[in-house]
Structure 1
Amino acid sequence: MTLQRVWLARGTVARLLWPVSQLFGALTALRRALYGAGWLATESAGVPVVVVGNVVAGGAGKTPVVMAVVEHLRSEGMAVGIVSRGYGRRTTDCREVQLDSDPRDVGDEPALLRRTGAPVFVARRRIDAARALCHAHPDVRVIVSDDGLQHLAMARDVEICVFDDRGVGNGWLLPAGPLRERWPRRSDLVLHTGVRPAFAGYTARRSLADDAVRSDGTRVPLATLQGRTLVAVAAIAKPASFFVMLSERGLALRQCIALPDHHDFEDWALVPSADATVLCTEKDALKLWRRQPDALAVPLCFTPEPAFLAALDAKLSSLDGHQAS
């Protein structure tokens, strides 16, 4: 039994872990209190900061939310930057993500976020990334942080809590439950990325794009893949969701390969294109293409409801110094 399943109910394993979760809760509460009292410093990036994150471990779809927020703000003419820790990268410095950056050096999610056209910086401390970004791109007027709800060293102006259909699971803190901190907590906006929201909040539509993308950028309509031998691979928090969405588009998958989130594909064995076509997520493609250059990436179309974007605009418009570029 995996922890993800344990976290859905208050069963035997969860109850055995409950005392440890109380210690975890006390430590997180103490840490937050130290920041609140000024014993630990919260530093400002100098521009408004929007943090997109989750209180639930295991992935709730925050990266598509970051991309949607950034694309929305850029469509309004706003100069936006993105900061991230760069989870899983082999480097530890503060650096700017380039379009040709190796995901192993910057993290797979920052490499994908760079494709929004916004500048992206990664650092172990997000406040360091924010300051480096503002120094390198002084035109930036708002920063969106990929994750970081619990990174209290960086001041934030808007917090977006992201949930999937699990909601808060069994409602207990780690490791007895999925919560990184107690819920409910103060939050500016709540956005549900699934199809069955567990409680009140804004919603979003998720679907696969009509075209898959080759490594050279050319597009292949999904409809033309029907009837072909297909192998689907996903190294995301919930790989099964990707496989289901492919099947719902009428694609018969001969094999589904689920790998751990952020898998590096260094051990990937080439699947001959003459035998099968490999389908993967956009995030995985940035690493898989080094090993399987003929793989097709299938983008996710993620569209928050208009009311969510309007509420975000209202929050930002109320901040001093918020300007369109």
Structure 2
Amino acid sequence: MRKPHQIIERHWQQPQPLFTALLRPLSRLFQTVYRVRRYLYQTGRLKREKLPVPVAVVGNIHAGGTGKTPITAALAAALQARGIKVGIISRGYGRRNSGVHVLTRASTAADAGDEPLMLYRQTGAPTAVGSRRAEAAKALLAAHPHIELLLADDGLQHYALQRDIEIAVFPAADIGRHDLDLLPNGGLREPLSRLHSTDAVVVSGCRGHIDKAYFRPSENIFTSHIENGRIYRLHRPDILLDTGRLKNRRVAAVAGIAKPERFFQSLAAIGITVHETLALPDHAAITPADLPAADIVIITEKDAVKLADFDADNVWVLPVCAIIQPDLAAWVAGRLNLK
């Protein structure tokens, strides 16, 4: 039996007349609140805080599941490769409290949230979380005054923080759709027209040609796709899984991400036969007790950071990397007159 959120998400992809009739008035109310709030910030009636270093926001207008976090990680790594000292700020969704926390090697997902902790471990970039991004940024800059550029992960709608660049991530699967609606009738946090005011759009899940006319008058359009890395043992990236020895072994896959089916499809694409799958809610707190009994259990990097105190030789992690074209880091650096 489908859960309520699954039913609604299916409606977002395949609109049902009954749901549309019930939910569209609520979406119009949501749109009114959005317009008023945006107007108040644009006209200065609500304060927008300016930071002493440039801020590039990487966000989306969808309610999750666009592939934003791998893009943020790839952008941070590419900027670092250019010699730019990058810091990351985020709300830290799913953590225990809303106060500011500057990440350290001892930080846990409960302290920081799963995605910020994953970004911190993947990139090594100084990272801080807080419900008020400006306060998180100030704490991060105080701890790491060498930072030259802040990446705000998932902060497109956080208008209280002034930004120098806005980068919106948009899924390729939704290109051409003109039935996209705001929450709750649709899966959008902001109207499609919001893309016209961002500085760049990254179309995720795209390997080939895209119809750029769909985004006009937006001009700076990039594409990204995900490539899988080598599966490694939990907490031991130096130990790689020999997939050739999985025959006659029971394999399970667990994913607590926005669209877990993508993870399961990735495993199938690299020739791994999965006998059992477990899809958990996005950001779910995963424990060893949640893992299926299997010879091999493969999880996402996002879920791996939640198992910091657990070790087992049958738990393995599939890393992924976003490939962005053309060079988004070069564009950001040029736009901000950085190195």
**TM-score greater than 0.5 by the shorter chain:** yes
What letter corresponds to residue 317 of structure 2 in structure 1? A
1-structure distance, mates of 2:308, 2:49: 39
Question: Within 5 Å, which residues of 2 pair with 1:206-285?
Answer: 206-227=226-247, 228-266=249-287, 268-269=289-290, 271=292, 275-285=294-304
1-structure distance, mates of 2:108, 2:86: 22
**Which residue number in structure 1 is paired with residue 3 of structure 2?**
none
What letter corresponds to residue 316 of structure 1 in structure 2? L
Tell me the SS of whatever aligns to 1:148: coil
Measured at CA, do residues 184 and 286 of structure 1 come closer, stay the same or move farther in structure 2, by a change above 3 Å? same
Quick one: which of 170, 178, 181 aligns to 2:187?
A: 178
1:15 deviation in Å?
Answer: 3.1
1:286 deviation in Å?
Answer: 1.2
What letter corresponds to residue 109 of structure 1 in structure 2? E
Tell me the SS of whatever aligns to 1:240: helix
2-structure distance, mates of 1:98, 1:293: 24
Tell me the SS of whatever aligns to 1:207: strand
2-structure distance, mates of 1:119, 1:308: 21
CA deviation profile, 1:4-57 (whole Å, cap 9, x unmatched): 111124431123211111111011100011111111000011111010000011
Measured at CA, do residues 147 and 297 of structure 1 come closer, stay the same or move farther in structure 2, by a change above 3 Å? same
Question: Within 5 Å, which residues of 2 pair with 1:15-164?
Answer: 15-115=21-121, 116-164=123-171
Q: Is the 8 A contact 1:231 1:253 kept in 2?
A: yes
Q: Is the 8 A contact 2:89 2:128 kept in 1?
A: yes
Measured at CA, do residues 265 and 292 of structure 1 come closer, stay the same or move farther in structure 2, by a change above 3 Å? farther
1-structure distance, mates of 2:317, 2:245: 13
Measured at CA, do residues 23 and 222 of structure 1 come closer, stay the same or move farther in structure 2, by a change above 3 Å? farther
What letter corresponds to residue 286 of structure 1 in structure 2? V
Measured at CA, do residues 87 and 307 of structure 1 come closer, stay the same or move farther in structure 2, by a change above 3 Å? same
What letter corresponds to residue 126 of structure 2 in structure 1? P
**Which residue number in structure 1 is paired with residue 215 of structure 2?**
none
Measured at CA, do residues 252 and 231 of structure 1 come closer, stay the same or move farther in structure 2, by a change above 3 Å? same
Q: Is the 8 A contact 1:265 1:291 kept in 2?
A: no
Quick one: which of 287, 309, 318 aligns to 1:298?
A: 318
What letter corresponds to residue 300 of structure 2 in structure 1? T
CA deviation profile, 1:295-321 (whole Å, cap 9, x unmatched): 11110021111343433333222xxxx
Structure 2's unaligned 5+ residue stretches are 1-5, 213-220
What letter corresponds to residue 188 of structure 1 in structure 2? D
Q: Is the 8 A contact 1:226 1:250 kept in 2?
A: no
Q: Is the 8 A contact 1:225 1:251 kept in 2?
A: no
Aligned length: 317
Identity %: 38
What letter corresponds to residue 177 of structure 1 in structure 2? G
CA deviation profile, 1:37-93 (whole Å, cap 9, x unmatched): 111000011111010000011321111111011001100111110000000101221
Quick one: which of 293, 305, 320 aligns to 1:286?
A: 305
Q: TM-score, normalised by structure 1?
A: 0.91
**TM-align CA RMSD:** 2.0
Higher helix share: 2
2-structure distance, mates of 1:267, 1:224: 26
Q: Does 1:203 align with 2:210?
A: no
Q: Is the 8 A contact 1:167 1:199 kept in 2?
A: no
Q: Is the 8 A contact 2:127 2:140 kept in 1?
A: yes
1:223 deviation in Å?
Answer: 3.1
Tell me the SS of whatever aligns to 1:159: strand
Tell me the SS of whatever aligns to 1:268: helix
What letter corresponds to residue 60 of structure 1 in structure 2? T
2-structure distance, mates of 1:269, 1:206: 27
1-structure distance, mates of 2:284, 2:309: 13
Tell me the SS of whatever aligns to 2:317: strand
1:213 deviation in Å?
Answer: 3.6
Tell me the SS of whatever aligns to 2:236: coil
